[in-house]
Structure 1
Amino acid sequence: MKLNLSRREFHLASAHMLLASSAGTLLLGASGPAAAQARSVKLGTFGAIDAQNYIRAKNMAAKTFGAGTSADFVTVRAGSEVIAAMAGGSLDMCNIGSSPMMVGYANGLKASMVYVYKNIVDSECLVVQGNSGITTVAGLKGKKIGLPFNTSVHFAAVAALKTAGIGLADVQLINMRADQIASAWQRREIDASYIWVPVLPRLTEDGGKIIFKTGDLNKNNLLIFDGLLVRDEFKQKSPDLVLAFLKDYEQIARTFKQEPKEVVETMTKFLNVDEAAVMRSLNTFYPVPAREQLQSHWMGKPGEKDTGVLKTLQTQAQFLLESAQISAMPKDLSGLVDSSFVAKMAA
């Protein structure tokens, strides 16, 4: 398995990547000489049902960051794009899976996770062809499993196989982009897939059967999550903007869970998607309140070393090393996790 971002590739990608800002970028700073003094924040979004797009859809950027701050929303397609953009300074904050986040950190990216963006429970699952007769993970021996490498589902798939006593030599993992999986599934070129929403429901609607959910790994003390990654330079320069986003994120997360009808109406119009797609995202969205994140099971208090997040990152780093996605284990993973903002929110 080839390392996606070597140190050389890491900086080349940063230099050459063209990340277009999404339509509707909000320029909220003042005009004239004062504009030069205005602050800015470059916020990433995967173009999905997320807090960033909700802020855009509701024109909340001025409320969130202040009228003197220009908010640029940058659309990304993969965790590797987030890492490369942050390395090049063209992105300040974005949610990202822990696997690409770890690859970036191991390659020297100066950024840290400040918040558990969401707990991954059933938005990522292992699904098998309905006529395969497979009912357990152990039944995958000798089968072809399609999934995108260097992602949270790659890590979860290997962990799931291990729980069933299945080694990597016992199955055929096939590296496929998420947008390739549905067509490969329809052609019956793969026996199973470990993938996320919205691809997942397309497979189950085509006869697929879910046999394992990422949340099942919690029984083995593994937490699979998306984190909010922030460029260290931006975090040090504008900590108030980071905190402002996190506070609004918590409110938006509550809205997602408590007022789904309003969210569906807003996001279907903004993203031009159907209501069912929005509801699937809302039904598989599990935020973790700041007070809960301060517990040792999650990020823990500032400076705490023996936490669930750090243990999971340690396990993930070992997986990335063994699969040649990083060349060496980071010496100190605590530099990747900063719970000081969570502590301020919970105070």
Structure 2
Amino acid sequence: MKRILGAYALALSTVAILPAVAQAEEVVVGYQQIVGPFLSAIADGRFDSALKDAGYELEWRQFTSGGDISTALASGDVPVGVIGSTGIAAATTRGVDLQLFWILDDIGHSEQLVAREGSGVEKPADLVGKTVGVPFVSTSHFHLLVGLEKVWGIDPSEVNILNMQPPQIVAAWQRGDIDAAYVWPPALSEILKSGKAISDSAEIGAASVPTFDGLVVEKSFAEDNPAFMAAFTKVLAEAYKDYADTGASWTAESPQVTGIVKMIGGTPEDALGALKLLGYPVASEQASEKWLGGGANGGAAKAIATSAAFLEGQGQLDTLLDDYAPVVNAAPVTQLGN
């Protein structure tokens, strides 16, 4: 009996001196149906592996729009997520304390204004009196309004603009409820099958300001979790370099493309086509004044400020921030080499 008790006591003492196993911190990351190297790195497990080593467990949560992610960020449910430049402008102006730390893509030709066959819309001027679907407070919405007012000289009130998320646009399109839509893939790929593009964000951006999708983080989370930010940004840099080096040779059968389809649906052929419509700046470009670098003179800060000013002019924002430079956090990408 003494021998048994002695062994039990020894076991307890051994357990007592073993170091406690640190429990991984769970972090929810919000993403949208936007193709790119980011999704490929999610699908192949690179993020999960790198962040696990840094002490974090990731939960990937898909949202239908940047507006939904903005709401989740504001509530504290999601500390990291994908939002377009217009959504970033709106959210930060309304007091959501977030920072842009990576340019997910330069939108360019990937967001298009498409007219449905049989709608009677052949050119932008024909939109007067017609119904157009677009996700509100998105980059598509911003460029639709800019195009109408600044490029084509059409009062937006002359167009019936409906707030629709991408899946709703596809359903309304197939029913014939809308005449045109401004949206991105995979919804764009679907509506182009029975419609034609009459403008896009490359054209409108050249006449105004470019738009982009970005990864944002709650400011306090970034400050409290430097290890997360470093590991997460490192995976992004590697994924974008991989695309720059090999993306031209990707096919519908490439694991990167099938990974994208796994994350957001659609077909490999559509995903491959959508990839070619976007620009994906590598880390050195991200850190430059063209995008995240340069403070108030940086491209991202200027685009956000311009977007906010336009939204205020449209009555969608009541006021503006004095300075949008603090919204951009270039530190994670500039510190990659350190």
TM range (shorter): 0.7 to 0.9
Match of 2:153? 165
CA distance 1:227–1:167, shift in 2 (3 Å): same
Match of 2:62? 76
Moved more, 44-53 or 234-243: 44-53
In 1: Cα distance, 2:186 partner to 2:146 partner: 22
Deviations along 1:48-91, whole A, 9 cap, x unmatched? 64555434432324542252523222313122332222233332
In 1: Cα distance, 2:298 partner to 2:219 partner: 21
In 2: Cα distance, 1:298 partner to 1:144 partner: 35
Deviation of 1:158 after TM superposition, in Å, equals: 0.8
Say whether residues 1:249 and 2:242 are aligned partners.
no
Instruction: Answer with 1 or 2: which has the greater Rg.
Output: 2
Say whether residues 1:262 and 2:255 are aligned partners.
yes
CA distance 1:56–1:340, shift in 2 (3 Å): closer
Alignment of 1:94-243 (within 5 A): 94-132=81-119, 134-161=121-148, 162-206=150-194, 208-243=195-230
Work out whether residues 51 and 228 of structure 2, in 8 Å CA contact, stay in contact via their aligned partners in 1.
yes
Deviation of 1:109 after TM superposition, in Å, equals: 1.5
Match 2:321 to one of 297, 314, 330: 330
Q: Give the paired residue count.
A: 313
Say whether residues 1:291 and 2:277 are aligned partners.
no
- Give, as a single letter, the amino acid of the residue that structure 1 aligns with 2:212: F
Deviation of 1:132 after TM superposition, in Å, equals: 4.5
Root mean square deviation, CA, Å: 2.7
Moved more, 131-140 or 331-340: 131-140
CA distance 1:196–1:47, shift in 2 (3 Å): closer
Work out whether residues 33 and 186 of structure 2, in 8 Å CA contact, stay in contact via their aligned partners in 1.
no
Structure 1 residue runs without a partner (length 5+): 1-30
Alignment of 1:297-316 (within 5 A): 297-301=290-294, 304-316=295-307
SS of 1:33's partner is coil
Match of 1:14? none
In 2: Cα distance, 1:232 partner to 1:270 partner: 27
In 2: Cα distance, 1:228 partner to 1:252 partner: 14
CA distance 1:266–1:316, shift in 2 (3 Å): closer
Match of 2:10? none
SS of 1:305's partner is helix
TM-score by length of 2: 0.82
- Give, as a single letter, the amino acid of the residue that structure 1 aligns with 2:318: S
In 1: Cα distance, 2:109 partner to 2:212 partner: 11
